[in-house]
Structure 1
Amino acid sequence: MADSAHPSDSPAPPAPRAATGTTGPAITRRRLLGTAGATGLALGAVGGAIGHATAGGDPSSGARSAGGSAVPLTTLGADTAMFHGKHQPGITTAMQSRGHLVAFDLRAGTGRKEAAALLRRWSATAERLMAGEPVTAGGHDTGIALDAGPSSLTVTFGFGHSFFARTGLEKQRPTALDPLPDFSSDRLDAARSNGDLWVQIGADDALVAFHALRALQKDAAGTAGVRWQMNGFNRSPGATARPMTTRNLMGQIDGTDNPEPSDHDFDQRIFVPAQGSPDWMSHGSYAVVRRIRMLLDDWEKLSVGDQEKVIGRRKSSGAPLTGGGERSEMKLDRVDGDGRPVIPLNAHARITRPDQNGGAAMLRRPFSFHDGFDADGTPDAGLLFICWQADPLRGFVPVQRKLDRGDALSVFIRHEASGLFAVPGGAADGEYVGQRLLEA
């Protein structure tokens, strides 16, 4: 598994979300129920969130009470992310507590013209939802998210390999979108892999996230149908006494090491350059999406000490086995009294380090999932792994190939679905996502 399935390989926690609490004029969603605000933790894509909280006077900053007076949204409900920008939202945005991943296939007889109209509708709907405004998909707003603010909603759109043949745009298909190689840990379900179009939805409120999912699905009616859909979650903002790195379903601290915007080569590693090829991918990125099932029954039979050797970090703190704190440098050459490496040679944290993979790096932004239990009681649970990079052949692929050759974690996980998607740069004001491709 690429390196976000354990503590050393996922995003660092972002700074606490800014509080709002100012009142304003009547809003489009009526009233936020509850009083719990977010105090600090959003499982992080990077060290800081790009989203911003709404300011006083913004229609989404308050709600009307029964008596007509303005009632401020809590911090959690008032937080917003920008739809328009250099990059699409949902890449460097702070991780949200609820996510939906969904792939669509174009209907038979649907081509470039219909696809362009769909992306135009989707972009308009996403912009409204991210601003906390109602939508009229199917003629009326469903009312699912009434009373709520935008809750840091983000919507991200991407194109799969098959999209280009279906729309007559094969010459515009990037070589970086070539199918991923096979890996020995793959047990892939073709029905839950790939797709013409991909949408990532994230929010800090489950109803807001589902509202967006439903609206976009209704927008697609007659043009594209759902190929597969997956639901994920992360720790909710404010769930801990202080901002701290979250844990995955294996109980491991998950989010210690990730590229950060302050890194001198962050943009180079994560985003296609402005003069990249093809032109329509400028400022875009490539998303690798993997459904990775964790074999929790087997994992939980290990002692804590054996789990730590598999990962290479302390379960309690996320610190390397060589000592220090969560962010301390791993001392890979340290040996114990018997001359054995303190961090085993096949420890997941050792294998996935960029300096052990020719500098290969990616921005990991996963969600956990739990889809019930098998007939024998085995949990169907694990990680919806999402990683971002300027080129998957220099990001995900070399790391996964090395993991394939001897990662101690590999016997406790199974890759069950996979997809690779070209995610174009953000839409400028007045544009829709993918316009430079579809109207070239």
Structure 2
Amino acid sequence: MDDTADTADTADTKSGTESSPQAAGISRRRLIGTAGATGVALGAVGAGAGYAAASSNSPEQQATLTSVGTDEVMFHGKHQPGITTAMQARGHLVAFDLAAGAGRKEAAALLRRWSATAERLMAGEPSASDDTDVARDAGPSSLTVTFGFGHSFFSRTGLEKQRPAALDPLPDFYSDHLDKARSNGDLWVQIGANDPLVAFHALRAIQKDTGGAAKLRWQMNGFNRSPGATAHPMTVRNLMGQVDGTGNPKPADADFNKRIFVPGSGSGSDSGSAQSPAWMGGGSYAVVRRIRMLLDDWEKLSTAAQEHVIGRKKSSGAPLTGGKETTEPDLEKTDANGDLVIPLNAHARITRPDQNGGSALLRRPFSYHDGYDEDGAPDAGLLFICWQADPLRGFVPVQRKLDRGDALSKFIRHEASGLFAVPGGAEKGGYVGQALLEG
């Protein structure tokens, strides 16, 4: 809900297209190409685009999948998937704690299993063993699986000396009403896909892969707009009805990598320092917050009042000072009465990077709805996920400023929190976190 907000709902995938009968037999891998910095690949086409279609003789299952089903994200790369990947329609966030007696050896074996499973599922293939068939009829559907380590992971595995200073616990904030049982954790997994069954299939496979090495700590489910639901790609809306994501940094920005990713070794950076250890090269830090929206109170406001809280037009996301969604707000503009058009406590003003010492967050959240309270109030809001090279320079200063006077604060409540070190991507034949666990 910050103006450094959610990633615009623009396609950073390249969809597959319907194939001719002659093209149906072409190898899937020959048709895949990497799509820029996101690591998203050109969707496969033909009967090979989805393991069920490849193994079934039924004409229905041999039919070409739609572009949503064929979109594929590469597992291996400099960065893990699910960070710069375009917004996905369905998401699961899950945290685990290592089991009693499990340590570095067991953690390494678990990450090796998880990485192998993620690679297969993201390619639209079944699990290596005991697959549930939940995703049998679908292709990859832009599935991503992302892994991270919490602060407690390092003491559990005897790797305290490798724990980054950037992973120090977040400070307390005035708006916090945190449930410790649904916060933090030794290990964190983010799953996203554009098909709910594909996402659930991955969630179930990851859970089964834990075996006796780890136990579930908490799990949360989220959603976004489905691809193709609008006439053209556009920024998503949150459950308050607000266009949410206009100010997100873009991979094309000159300083994007510096703000979002930890520099790799050999880049002339301090990646080997206590702040950014070498094993975090190419990685990022994820702040995860379950932010409940007090929708009954919010919806009592008029549209004009809501717009003054945010500082943008509800219909288009344009700043109240005029223009379109991407127009820079004129923070000094006043109305006929001499009052600021965008109030001093407007959310869009407070969260602008130039109002926060240049702090920038790459936000890729999911909305959630977990039913209703006894009084009928919806338990709904945002599963906030933001990425940055250093949370002490990214999330923390922005949240502190929001705490001091954001007009939106009275309509939201932070109910769970986590901070995770997300290492760089795995090399082919390797697994996520290998440099830490085997270094």
Fold shared, TM-score > 0.5 on shorter chain:
yes
Secondary structure of the residue aligned to 1:164 is helix
Per the alignment, residue 116 of structure 1 pairs with 108
Aligned to 2:351: 352
**Out of 7, 10, 15, which is 2:11 matched to?**
15
CA contact (8 A) 1:120 1:433 kept: yes
In the alignment, which residue of structure 2 is the partner of 1:35? none
Please give the alpha-carbon distance, in whole angstroms, between the structure 1 residues aligned to 2:61 and 2:329.
56
Matched, 1:382 2:374: no
The one of 77, 86, 93 equivalent to 1:94 is: 86
Q: Report the Cα distance in structure 1 between the residues aligned to 2:193 and 2:351, rounded to whole angstroms.
A: 29
User: Is 1:184 aligned with 2:196?
Assistant: no
Residue of structure 2 in register with 1:396 after alignment: 395
Q: For residues 299 and 69 of structure 1, do their structure 2 counterparts lie closer, same or farther at Cα, with a shift above 3 Å needed?
A: closer
Per-residue deviation at 1:208? 0.4
Deviations 1:386-436 (A, max 9, x none): 000000001000000000100000000000000000000000111100000
- Partner Cα separation in structure 2 for residue 345 and residue 50 of structure 1: 40
Q: TM-score normalised to the size of structure 2? A: 0.91
Q: Deviations over 1:32-62 (max 9, x none)?
A: xxxxxxxxxxxxxxx9854123344783265
SS at match of 1:199: strand
Match of 2:164 among 168, 174, 178: 174
Q: Is the 8 A contact 2:4 2:363 kept in 1?
A: no
Distance across 2 between alignment mates of 1:154 and 1:81: 7
Pick aligned residue for 1:74 from 33, 44, 66: 66
Between the aligned residues of both structures, percent identity stands at: 72
Q: Does 1:151 align with 2:176?
A: no
TM-fit CA distance, 1:224: 0.3
- Would the aligned equivalents of 2:88 and 2:226 in 1 still touch at CA under 8 Å? yes
How far apart are residue 9 of structure 1 and its match?
Answer: 2.1
AA of the residue aligned to 1:306 = A
CA contact (8 A) 2:3 2:352 kept: no
Structure 1, unaligned stretches of length 5 or more? 29-46
**Following TM superposition, by how much is the alpha carbon of 1:24 offset from its aligned partner in structure 2, in angstroms?**
3.2
Q: What is the Cα deviation at residue 165 of structure 1?
A: 0.2
Instruction: Measure, in 2, the Cα distance between the counterparts of 1:133 and 1:378.
Output: 41
In structure 1, the partner of 2:278 is 279
* Separation in structure 2 between the aligned mates of residue 67 and residue 373 of structure 1, nearest angstrom: 44
Deviation at 1:25, TM superposition (A): 4.7
Distance 1:327 1:119 in 2: 41
SS in 2 for 1:72: coil
In the alignment, is the contact (CA less than 8 A) between 2:96 and 2:215 conserved in 1?
yes
* Offset at residue 8 of structure 1 (A): 6.1
What secondary structure does 2:219 align onto?
strand
1:136-179 CA-partner distances (Å, limit 9, x unpaired): 4xx41111111111100000000000000000000000000000
For residues 63 and 301 of structure 2, the distance between their equivalents in structure 1, rounded to whole angstroms, comes to 51
8 A Cα contact 1:50 1:94, kept in partner: no
Give CA-to-partner distance per residue, 1:344-371, whole Å, 9 cap, x none. Answer: 0000000000000000001000000000
One-letter amino acid of the structure 2 residue matched with residue 18 of structure 1: S
| 2:288–2:383 CA contact under 8 A, matched in 1 | yes
TM-score (norm 1): 0.91
Structure 2 contact 111–431 (Cα < 8 Å) conserved:
yes
Query: Are the structure 2 counterparts of residues 340 and 8 from structure 1 closer, same or farther at C-alpha, using a change threshold of 3 Å?
Result: farther
What is the SS of the residue equivalent to 1:9?
coil
